[in-house]
């Protein structure tokens, strides 16, 4: 009986010890979780204190870039596939420096005719272009040049799908006034901001190069309208939501008859451009909104993506900053050189995509021949 009592007592003691140990571990885990939570809160608090929030390693919160990662000549496009395709025009596409962000942004940096250029997959809409412009402006030292190249609807009856529309005459902004929607004031739901203008010199250079590579009749200098939504403020009807936008397109053209292209990013770029930021924008006309049958074929879209991309990279490389070439250009060149040395033994990536693009588009082959002659 005494032995059984001792065994039972030992078992109870072991069980109590196990429970105590378990409680201690849970307590430690809880304390650790509190510390992690406190650390996270402190980081957030620190980020709110500084003038511009950065990670501990100096990279920006959304693009994941730091000084030297982005060239001072930038092309912004909507999606990663387009950015990759245009990056094949770099001098050494196999040594393109890539920066990937969990927020879907992608940055591709290389050289064109020896000049550093970055191509950024920006995504769609005003908030995305806002992230990009603000964060690259923070890490780039000195002046910068930036061109947006996207797609758009054509809302002016005098223009057609298949034309490349350069916002040389500026961009206005159609914005939703949510407060008036709540009140039910149909006449005040949308506001139209006055035009902001692009950089005249960069726009002229872009138009000239596009007309040489794409064709004079396919490139038009126009006024653009950006919208804060693909649906409501672009005048699309949605039976599931009240848009109050039946007359919006007519209202835009009544206020600004010279508006031709309608998309979501150009105004955001031009509106943020300061004196040291030389910016312009262009878009491929995908569809004539008055005639849904007047829509651009996928093969034609790809051609204009390729030829337009080449035109823009060429324009950026040729652009001369009025302030003079900044020292930052050499910073990016040094970064690219270091990357090339590190990856000089990597033979797995071959620039075959460029040959495929040239084969499908003879105009690009001619453009590249002209560049070689110019050298």
Question: Each residue's pLDDT tens digit in the chain (375 positions)?
Answer: 544 444 444 444 444 444 444 454 455 455 545 545 545 554 555 556 557 899 988 999 999 999 999 999 999 999 999 999 999 999 999 999 999 998 889 999 999 999 999 999 999 999 999 999 999 999 999 999 999 999 999 999 999 999 999 999 999 999 999 988 888 888 889 999 999 999 999 999 999 999 999 999 999 999 999 999 999 999 999 999 988 999 999 999 999 999 999 999 999 999 999 999 999 999 999 999 999 889 999 999 999 999 999 999 999 999 999 999 999 999 999 999 999 888 775 444 445 556 666 666 666 676 667 666 665
Domain membership of residue 16 (yes or no) is no
Domain membership of residue 125 (yes or no) is yes
Q: Token pair 């959304």 is at which residue?
A: 62
What is the spatial distance between Cα 114 and Cα 73, in angstroms, rounded to a whole number? 12
Range of the domain at 251: 73-320
Q: What tokens were used for 346? A: 């990597």
What domain count does the chain have? 1
Domain membership of residue 50 (yes or no) is no
Domain membership of residue 224 (yes or no) is yes
The torsion of the CA quartet 83, 86, 91, 96, rounded to 10 degrees, works out to 20
Domain membership of residue 348 (yes or no) is no
**Tell me, what DSSP letter sits at residue 367?**
H
Q: What tokens were used for 139? A: 């890490």
What is the spatial distance between Cα 70 and Cα 92, in angstroms, rounded to a whole number? 17
Domain membership of residue 147 (yes or no) is yes
Domain membership of residue 35 (yes or no) is no
**Non-local CB neighbours of 303 within 8 Å, separated by 6+ positions:** 360, 361, 363
CATH number of the domain at 146, please. 3.40.50.1580
Domain membership of residue 141 (yes or no) is yes
């Amino acid at each position: 009986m005494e032995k059984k009592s001792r065994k039972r007592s030992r078992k109870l003691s072991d069980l109590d010890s196990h429970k105590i140990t378990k409680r201690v571990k849970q307590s430690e885990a809880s304390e650790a979780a509190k510390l992690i939570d406190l650390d996270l809160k402190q980081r957030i608090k620190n980020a709110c204190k500084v003038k511009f929030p950065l990670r501990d390693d100096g990279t920006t919160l959304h693009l994941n870039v730091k000084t030297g990662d982005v060239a001072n000549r930038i092309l912004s496009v909507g999606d990663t596939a387009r950015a990759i395709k245009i990056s094949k025009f770099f001098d050494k596409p196999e040594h393109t420096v890539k920066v990937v962000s969990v927020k879907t942004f992608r940055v591709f940096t290389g050289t064109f005719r020896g000049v550093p250029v970055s191509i950024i997959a920006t995504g769609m809409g005003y908030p995305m272009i806002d992230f990009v412009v603000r964060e690259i402006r923070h890490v780039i030292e000195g002046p910068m040049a930036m061109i947006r190249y996207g797609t758009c609807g054509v809302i002016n009856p005098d223009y057609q799908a298949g034309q490349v529309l350069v916002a040389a005459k500026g961009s206005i902004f159609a914005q939703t006034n949510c407060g008036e929607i709540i009140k039910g004031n149909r006449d005040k739901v949308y506001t139209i901001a006055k035009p902001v203008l692009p950089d005249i010199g960069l726009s002229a250079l872009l138009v000239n190069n596009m007309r040489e590579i794409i064709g004079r009749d396919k490139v038009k200098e126009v006024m653009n309208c950006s919208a804060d939504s693909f649906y409501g403020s672009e005048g699309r009807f949605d039976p599931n939501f009240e848009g109050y936008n039946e007359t919006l397109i007519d209202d835009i053209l009544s206020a600004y008859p010279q508006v031709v292209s309608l998309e979501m990013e150009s105004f955001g770029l031009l509106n943020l451009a300061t004196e040291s930021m030389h910016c312009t924008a262009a878009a491929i006309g995908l569809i004539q909104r008055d005639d849904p049958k007047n829509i651009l074929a996928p093969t034609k879209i790809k051609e204009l993506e390729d030829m337009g991309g080449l035109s823009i990279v060429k324009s950026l490389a040729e652009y001369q900053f009025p302030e003079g070439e900044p020292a930052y250009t050499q910073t990016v060149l040094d970064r690219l050189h270091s990357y090339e040395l590190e990856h000089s033994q990597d033979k797995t990536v071959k620039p075959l995509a460029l040959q495929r693009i040239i084969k499908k588009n003879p105009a690009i082959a001619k453009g590249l021949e002209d560049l070689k002659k110019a050298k």
